[in-house]
C-alpha cells in the first residue's frame, strides 16, 4: 500500500456490488491519468483513526433500507461519530463523496449525505459537491457518476497537478492497453487434487470455494458458521389463479439445532442451474474437470514445494464456477464490456463493445444490459468472437450472492425449525422477456420429500423487544413475515406470564387470493390471544382491491387512531416491514397524523416525536424492493 502523502485513497461501502464497481472505476481512471499511487479499499478494511494522515480520499457509499449505511460502513461511521474528534481533526484532508441510492426511497442517499456533512464538521475540505447516483435515472447511478467524475478530475487537475497531470488520458483513455487481471489461477495435476477433494463434504466445499473467491472477500459473514438445512414443507399461500405466488417454506437441520431469535433474517445461497453452468463453461472453452486455486494477485507467493505437498486449497473448476460466479442471473458491469472489447476478434463486435463502454454509449448499454436483465452467459453468447481468459472472467463476473429473507417463525414455538414467507419473483423486461428470481424460483422448485440441503447463514438483527413492551406492527404483503414470528413468540411467552398487547395491521389485494396466514392471525385474535381485543391488542386488515376505492394499511391505522395512540402512550415500539416503494412513507405519515389528532400537537412535533422514538430503538423500518 502506498504512503498516505503520495496517494489517492478510494474507499467504498457496498451492499450489492455497485459501489465497489464505481470505486474501482475511480481507481482505474486515476491510474490512467497518471496518478502515481492509487489504493481502492472496502471501508471496513481501513483503520479510521488513520484518516487524518491521508491527503486525498474519495468515498463511494451506497444507502440501504431506510437510509442505513451498508454493514461494511457501520464501524467506520461509529468511529467518525466519536465526541472526542474535534472540528480540526481532519484538517488538511481533501475528500469527495459519491452516493448510490434510489430516489423512490424516503431517505434517498442518506448515508452519503450524512458522511459528507460529518467529514465537513471534522475539518476536511470537500473537493467537489457530493455526487448522488440514482437508480431511477434512465442510465442508473452511472448517469450521475460520469459527469461527477469529470468534475472531480478537473478540480484535482487545477489544484493538485502533480498528482493527476493528464486529464486527456482520463477523458480519452487508450483502449489499446488493458493491463493485467487482478486475479491469478493456478492449475493442478488432477490426480492429487481429486484425492484431496474427495474428503470434502458439501458444507466444507462451499466454504472452500467461497473463501477462495477474491470477489467474495469483502462480503459479510462468508466465514461465519452456516447450516445445511432440509426443506420439510413447501406450501403455496396465494390461490393458484392469483398472479402472485407466495410460498411458506419450513426448513430444519438434520444434524444439529439452529440458533436464532425473532427479527433475524436467513441468508440463503441459491443453486444455479447445472445446464447454465455447463453452457458457460462450454462457451468459454474451459475444462470443467480441472482443479484450480484462485486468489487475488499480490498475496504471498506459494512455493512449488508447498504445491507438491498439498498445502494449498484446490477445487474443481466447475464447482468453483457454480458456487461463486453468478453466470445466469446477474448482469455484468460496464467494465466487463470494456475488457471484452480487447478480446473480440470481430471488428464489428469490438466497435460495439467499445461504444457500450464509452460515455456516449452509456444509455444504450443500460437499456441492453440492466433493463433487460442480461446475464453474463447471454452477453458472451451475443459476442461469439470474444474469448476472455478465465482470470478476467473470475474478476469481472458478478459474485453469486446470498439472498436474505426475514424469518417468520419463533424458536420458542418451533424449535429446530426456520420458517420463511417468500414471494416467488418474476417480471417482464421492456422487450417482453420473462425473468425469474434465482433464489425464490429455486426454492419454489424444491420437493420437500427429496434430499435437498440448502446452505444457510443466520443474519442476526438487534435484540427482539421485551415481552413487557407493547407492539404496533405494520406489515402488508410478505412484510408480515417477521411479525408472524413476533406473534408466535409472544404467544409462547404468554403461557407462563402475561405479555404486553400487540396491534397488527396487515394489508393485501384481495381477501380471497392473497390473505397470507389468515387462520394464524384470527386464531391469535380470538379469546385471550396476543392479538385479541380483550388483551388490549387487535388485528386489522386492509384489502386494497376489494372495493372501488383503494384502501391500504395507512387508512386502517387512521381508523384505529385512539387504539394506536393509547399503545404509544404506554411505551409501544413500532415495527414496519414490506415494500420499499411508497408504503413506509405513507405509513409514517399516517402515524404522524394519529399523533397530531390524538395529542393536539403540530405536524412538526409529531415528526420529532417519531424521530425520538427511533433514537430510543422503538421505531424500526425494514423494507425490500
Q: What is the DSSP string of 240-308?
A: TTSS--EEEEEEE-SSS-----TT-EEEE-PPPPHHHHHHHHHHTT--TT-EEEEEETTSPPPPHHHHH
Q: Is 439 annotated as a binding residue?
A: yes
Mean pLDDT (the chain, rounded) = 89
φ, ψ dihedrals at 133, nearest 5°: -80, 140
Q: Is 440 annotated as a binding residue?
A: yes
Q: Is 550 annotated as a binding residue?
A: yes
Q: Is 65 annotated as a binding residue?
A: yes
Structure confidence by residue, pLDDT tens digits, 468-503: 999 999 999 999 999 999 999 999 998 878 899 999
First-residue to last-residue Cα distance in the chain: 38
Domains and CATH numbers, the chain: 4-171 (3.40.50.360), 212-270+402-463 (2.40.30.10), 272-398 (1.20.990.10), 471-624 (3.40.50.80)
Mean local confidence (pLDDT), 69-97: 94
Q: Is 404 annotated as a binding residue?
A: yes
Q: Is 406 annotated as a binding residue?
A: yes
Mean local confidence (pLDDT), 591-599: 95
Structure confidence by residue, pLDDT tens digits, 405-422: 999 999 999 988 999 999
Q: Is 499 annotated as a binding residue?
A: no
pLDDT value at residue 309: 41
Q: Is 16 annotated as a binding residue?
A: yes
Q: Is 545 annotated as a binding residue?
A: yes
Q: Is this prediction's pTM over 0.85?
A: yes
Reported confidence tier of residue 67, pLDDT bands at 50, 70, 90: confident
pLDDT value at residue 168: 61
Is the pLDDT at 305 greater than 70? The verdict is no
Task: For residue 325, list its beta bridge partners.
Answer: 399
Q: Is 442 annotated as a binding residue?
A: no
pLDDT value at residue 174: 61
Length of the chain: 625
Q: Where are the alpha helices (DSSP H) in 326-444?
A: 334-343, 347-357, 362-368, 376-382, 390-396, 438-444
pLDDT value at residue 222: 55
Q: Is 376 annotated as a binding residue?
A: no
Q: Is 30 annotated as a binding residue?
A: no
Structure confidence by residue, pLDDT tens digits, 199-248: 567 888 998 999 999 888 766 555 566 899 999 999 999 998 888 999 99
Q: Is 554 annotated as a binding residue?
A: yes
Structure confidence by residue, pLDDT tens digits, 130-161: 999 998 888 889 889 999 999 999 898 888 76
The answer to whether 514 and 246 are in contact (CB under 8 A) is yes
pLDDT value at residue 139: 82
Q: Is 522 annotated as a binding residue?
A: no
Q: Is 64 annotated as a binding residue?
A: yes
Structure confidence by residue, pLDDT tens digits, 325-368: 999 999 999 999 999 999 999 999 999 999 999 888 988 999 99
Q: Is 551 annotated as a binding residue?
A: yes
C-alpha cell at 399: 459474485
Mean local confidence (pLDDT), 523-549: 93
Number of other CB atoms surrounding residue 418 within 10 Å = 24
pLDDT value at residue 257: 82
Reported confidence tier of residue 588, pLDDT bands at 50, 70, 90: very high
Q: Is 370 annotated as a binding residue?
A: no
**Following DSSP, what letter does each residue of 418-456 receive, concatenated?**
EEEEEE--EEE-TT--EEE-HHHHHHHT--TTS--EEEE
Q: Is 427 annotated as a binding residue?
A: no
What whole-number distance in Å separates Cα of residue 43 and Cα of residue 46? Answer: 6
What whole-number distance in Å separates Cα of residue 489 and Cα of residue 495? Answer: 11
Is the pLDDT at 191 greater than 80? The verdict is no
Is the pLDDT at 387 greater than 50? The verdict is yes
C-alpha cell at 484: 408472524
Amino acid at each position: 500500500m502506498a504512503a498516505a502523502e503520495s496517494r489517492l485513497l478510494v474507499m467504498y461501502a457496498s451492499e450489492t456490488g455497485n459501489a465497489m464497481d464505481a470505486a474501482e472505476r475511480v481507481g482505474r481512471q486515476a491510474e490512467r491519468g497518471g496518478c502515481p499511487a492509487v489504493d481502492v479499499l472496502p471501508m471496513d478494511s481501513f483503520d479510521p483513526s488513520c484518516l487524518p494522515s491521508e491527503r486525498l480520499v474519495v468515498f463511494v457509499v451506497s444507502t440501504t433500507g431506510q437510509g442505513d449505511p451498508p454493514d461494511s460502513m457501520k464501524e467506520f461511521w461509529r468511529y467518525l461519530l466519536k465526541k472526542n474528534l474535534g472540528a480540526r481533526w481532519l484538517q488538511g484532508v481533501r475528500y469527495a463523496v459519491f452516493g448510490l441510492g434510489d430516489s423512490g426511497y424516503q431517505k434517498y442517499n442518506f448515508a452519503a449525505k450524512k458522511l459528507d456533512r460529518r467529514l465537513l464538521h471534522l475539518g476536511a475540505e470537500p473537493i467537489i459537491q457530493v455526487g448522488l447516483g440514482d437508480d431511477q435515472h434512465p442510465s442508473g447511478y452511472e448517469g450521475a457518476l460520469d459527469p461527477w467524475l469529470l468534475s472531480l478530475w478537473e478540480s484535482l487537475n487545477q489544484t493538485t497537478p502533480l498528482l493527476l497531470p493528464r486529464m486527456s488520458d482520463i477523458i480519452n483513455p487508450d483502449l489499446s492497453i488493458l493491463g493485467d487481471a487482478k486475479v491469478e489461477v493456478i492449475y493442478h495435476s488432477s490426480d492429487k487434487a481429486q484425492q484431496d477433494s474427495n474428503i470434502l463434504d458439501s458444507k466444507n466445499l462451499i466454504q472452500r470455494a467461497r473463501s477462495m473467491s477474491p470477489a467474495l472477500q469483502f462480503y459479510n459473514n462468508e466465514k461465519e458458521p452456516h447450516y445445511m438445512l432440509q426443506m420439510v414443507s413447501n406450501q403455496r399461500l396465494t390461490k393458484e389463479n392469483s398472479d402472485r405466488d407466495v410460498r411458506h417454506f419450513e426448513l430444519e437441520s438434520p444434524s444439529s439445532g439452529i440458533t436464532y431469535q425473532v427479527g433475524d433474517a436467513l441468508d440463503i445461497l441459491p443453486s444455479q442451474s447445472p445446464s447454465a453452468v455447463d453452457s458457460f463453461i462450454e462457451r468459454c472453452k474451459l475444462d470443467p474437470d480441472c482443479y484450480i486455486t484462485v486468489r487475488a494477485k499480490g498475496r504471498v507467493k506459494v512455493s512449488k514445494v508447498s504445491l507438491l505437498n498439498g498445502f494449498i486449497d484446490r477445487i474443481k473448476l466447475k464447482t468453483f464456477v457454480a458456487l461463486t460466479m453468478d453466470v445466469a442471473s446477474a448482469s455484468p458491469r460496464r467494465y466487463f464490456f470494456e475488457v471484452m472489447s480487447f478480446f473480440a476478434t470481430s471488428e464489428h463486435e469490438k466497435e460495439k463493445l467499445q461504444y457500450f463502454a464509452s460515455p456516449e454509449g452509456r444509455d444504450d448499454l443500460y437499456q441492453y444490459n440492466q433493463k433487460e436483465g442480461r446475464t453474463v452467459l447471454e452477453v458472451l453468447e451475443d459476442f461469439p468472437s470474444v474469448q476472455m481468459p478465465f482470470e478476467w472472467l473470475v474478476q469481472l463476473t458478478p459474485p453469486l450472492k446470498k439472498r436474505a429473507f426475514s424469518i417468520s417463525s419463533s424458536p420458542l414455538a418451533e424449535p429446530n425449525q426456520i420458517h420463511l414467507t417468500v414471494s416467488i419473483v418474476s417480471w417482464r423486461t421492456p422487450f417482453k422477456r420473462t425473468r425469474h428470481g434465482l433464489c425464490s424460483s429455486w426454492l419454489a422448485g424444491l420437493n420437500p420429500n427429496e434430499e435437498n440441503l440448502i446452505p444457510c447463514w443466520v443474519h442476526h438483527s438487534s435484540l427482539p423487544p421485551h415481552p413487557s413492551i407493547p407492539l404496533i406492527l405494520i406489515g402488508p404483503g410478505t412484510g408480515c413475515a417477521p411479525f408472524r414470528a413476533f406473534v408466535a413468540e409472544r404467544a409462547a411467552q404468554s403461557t407462563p406470564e402475561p405479555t404486553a398487547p400487540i396491534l397488527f395491521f396487515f394489508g393485501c389485494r384481495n381477501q380471497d387470493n392473497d390473505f397470507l396466514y389468515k387462520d394464524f392471525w384470527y386464531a391469535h385474535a380470538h379469546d385471550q390471544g396476543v392479538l385479541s381485543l380483550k388483551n388490549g391488542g387487535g388485528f386489522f386488515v386492509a384489502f386494497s382491491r376489494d372495493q372501488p376505492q383503494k384502501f391500504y394499511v395507512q387508512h386502517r391505522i387512521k381508523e384505529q387512531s385512539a387504539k394506536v395512540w393509547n399503545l404509544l402512550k404506554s411505551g409501544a415500539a413500532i415495527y414496519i416491514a414490506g415494500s420499499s416503494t411508497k408504503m413506509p412513507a405513507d405509513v409514517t405519515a399516517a402515524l404522524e397524523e394519529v399523533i397530531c389528532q390524538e395529542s393536539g400537537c403540530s405536524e412538526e412535533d409529531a415528526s420529532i416525536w417519531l424521530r425520538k422514538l427511533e433514537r430510543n430503538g422503538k421505531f424500526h423500518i425494514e423494507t425490500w424492493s
